[in-house]
């Protein structure tokens, strides 16, 4: 069955390169966009958490998106982070994404104010009704303090045809299974954790919204394709080989380790905005010991 909107199997949650003054480094950003497209990213997510969205101004988000759009030049889909824990702010951000020419938006479960499931239905329903853009729901209990239940996702998917997918950043395979079971066939589930990509695909996910694809995009795509064509042994071997990196790039708050990896690869300088801090020398040593197996 055709999907409601096809963002592909690998969406990279793109980092935002910074210079020594922690301003956006557009030269490095150009290099990064080309690198990601050339190594298997079907879509780029701009101004998500991995892009340090909590510390980007609204003007910066728009500027970054417009720049990425110019460099990508139609070679991949572009999704803009447009979530908020205030429904009206999320609607405004969604309208801005539309004006920027985004192909779709990512909208996170409201954080900190911890709404009920009924509140989630109201929140996402209002956003979906405000736009004709495809909407990608983002369920990440570790950062929001609440879990959007499979029944809630299914109700939204059935009621709003422009809600095309959910990013599931949780390790509960029963919940993933139940989401797949309850949602329409043309609704997509994405893994929100690199290390859970293969397990989630085995119970009905389509692909991954990835951090590791900054480094091993081609290998991840191979793993997904192997599983889907029935080469499950090869896919499992691939998963086991990539697993140490999947885990190590989350040894510190995201995107600190992946930025260090990209700096080591010569693609960016390694700077993050406060309150995040760069890795210390011992942590870098640990990370490089794993990274060297993949680059």
Q: CA 31 to CA 68: how far, in whole Å?
A: 10
Q: How many CA atoms lie within 13 A of 295 on its CB side?
A: 18
Instruction: Tell me which of 167, 221, 248, 259 is the catalytic residue.
Output: 167
- Residue entry with tokens 């080309």: 34
Our answer to whether residue 167 is catalytic in this structure is: yes
| Phi, psi values for residue 259, rounded to 5° | -65, -40
Report the residue count for the chain: 295
Our answer to whether residue 161 is catalytic in this structure is: no
Q: CA 251 to CA 283: how far, in whole Å?
A: 9
Instruction: Tell me which of 69, 77, 138, 248 is the catalytic residue.
Output: 138
Query: Is the CB of residue 10 less than 8 Å from the CB of residue 221?
Result: yes
Query: Is the CB of residue 164 less than 8 Å from the CB of residue 127?
Result: no
Which residues are known to be catalytic? 138, 167
């Amino acid at each position: 069955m055709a999907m409601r909107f096809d963002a592909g199997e690998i969406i990279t949650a793109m980092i935002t390169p910074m210079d020594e003054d922690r301003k956006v480094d557009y030269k490095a950003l150009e290099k990064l966009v080309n690198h990601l497209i050339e190594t298997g990213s079907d879509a780029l997510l701009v101004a998500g958490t991995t892009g340090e969205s909590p510390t980007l101004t609204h003007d910066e988000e728009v500027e970054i998106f417009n720049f990425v759009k110019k460099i990508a030049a139609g070679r991949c889909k572009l999704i803009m982070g447009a979530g908020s824990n205030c429904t009206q702010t999320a609607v405004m951000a969604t309208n801005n994404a539309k004006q920027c020419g985004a192909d779709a938006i990512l909208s996170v479960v409201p954080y900190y104010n911890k709404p009920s499931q009924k509140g989630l239905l109201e929140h996402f329903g209002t956003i979906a009704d405000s736009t004709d853009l495809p909407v990608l729901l983002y369920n990440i209990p570790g950062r929001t303090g609440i879990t959007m239940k499979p029944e809630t996702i299914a109700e939204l998917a059935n009621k709003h045809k422009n809600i095309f997918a959910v990013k599931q950043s949780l390790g509960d395979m029963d919940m993933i299974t139940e989401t797949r079971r309850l949602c329409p066939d043309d609704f997509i589930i994405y893994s929100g954790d690199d290390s859970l990509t293969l397990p989630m695909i085995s119970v009905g996910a389509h692909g991954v919204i990835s951090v590791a694809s900054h480094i091993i995009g081609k290998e991840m795509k191979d793993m997904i394709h192997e599983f889907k064509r029935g080469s499950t042994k090869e896919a499992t071997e691939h998963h086991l080989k990539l697993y140490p990196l999947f885990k190590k790039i989350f040894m510190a708050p995201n995107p600190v380790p992946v930025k260090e990896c990209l700096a080591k690869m010569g693609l960016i300088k390694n700077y993050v905005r406060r309150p995040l801090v760069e890795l210390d020398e011992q942590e870098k040593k640990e990370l490089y010991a794993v990274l060297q197996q993949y680059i």
